[in-house]
Amino acid sequence: MIIQRIAAFTDGSRGGNPAGVVIGDSLPEAAVMQAMAAEIGYSETAFAAPDGDAWRVHYFAPEAEVDFCGHATIALGAALARQQGSGRFALRLNHAEITVEGVHSATEWSAAFSSPPTRTRALSALAVEEILALFGLTHDDLDPRIPPVLAHAGMDHPVIALRQRGRLAAMSYDFSRGQALAQRERFCTFALIHVETPQLIHARNPFPFGGVYEDPATGAAAAALAGYLRELAWPAQGPIMIRQGEDMGVPCGLQVDLDGAAGAPVKVAGSVRAIET
């Protein structure tokens, strides 16, 4: 079984979040996929096999299966385009059906997915206090334009918007404590963000739920955030760029569109590159 290693949401020839991609005629048992993901060691690995007119997809982090992963979907779409030719591919996930468009040519290698439907719900006051305490934040650190909320686009991501870029850059937390909170509440990642302009947002995404301290690019969280901003009637003209991974030394760029009605899927796009081993 061939394992492809692809960095998604790259910044030109730099950066990008590594994902494993395994495409086969059939899917291995769940325990085998989990063991392979742990051995590969990336934040997620996508496993895909033909399923009628679509592809059945599972995503595994090193310590758990997740229902949806954006950067691994970008990597998978790009891998399918390289294997099958550029085009749109239907994907069947655990709890959703989505599409990904892959482009592979002499001058471009990229993909864009249409996320699962988006929604938000309130975070309890206790959950907000626990999250703030975990990251050493106070209510004065919060951007009042984007109140804390639980945003969903295939998985749940608490969104915490910070007034100052420096507070985002200084992010740190106790991993064991964060993992216990994330697993108890089923938080996929914590989406900490700072708005530089309405069309440029900086993000960091701790991922203790999956056994990873921080993800350098998180397409699922970007889609969830975009769905939330759309509900807020966010004053942006055209696509929004989310810059992530810069504080890790792994620059990434995720482009999201706010088109569509509240709750509709969100388009998230990015370029990719192969990881040499």
What is the Cα Rg of the chain in Å? 17
Q: Are strands 17-23 and 45-51 parallel, antiparallel or unpaired?
A: parallel
* Domain membership of residue 13 as a residue range: 3-116
42 and 128 housed in the same domain: no
60 and 139 housed in the same domain: no
95 and 132 housed in the same domain: no
95 and 160 housed in the same domain: no
Predicted pLDDT of residue 65:
94
Predicted pLDDT of residue 1:
76
Predicted pLDDT of residue 262:
93
Last residue of a domain, one of 86, 116, 146: 116
Q: Is residue 101 part of a domain?
A: yes
Q: Is residue 275 part of a domain?
A: no
59 and 85 housed in the same domain: yes
Q: Is residue 277 part of a domain?
A: no
pLDDT tens figures, 169-206: 999 999 999 999 999 999 999 999 999 999 999 999 99
Last residue of a domain, one of 116, 138, 157: 116
Last residue of a domain, one of 73, 99, 116: 116
Predicted pLDDT of residue 87:
97
Predicted pLDDT of residue 238:
84
The CATH number that applies at residue 153 is 3.10.310.10
Q: Is residue 270 part of a domain?
A: no
Q: Is residue 207 part of a domain?
A: yes
Split into its structural domains, the chain has a count of: 2
253 and 136 housed in the same domain: yes
104 and 214 housed in the same domain: no
Residues in the chain with pLDDT values less than 50: none
Q: What is this structure's pTM?
A: 0.92
Q: What are phi and psi of 76, to 5 degrees?
A: -65, -45
Query: Helix 219-231 to helix 70-84 angle, to the nearest 10 degrees?
Result: 120
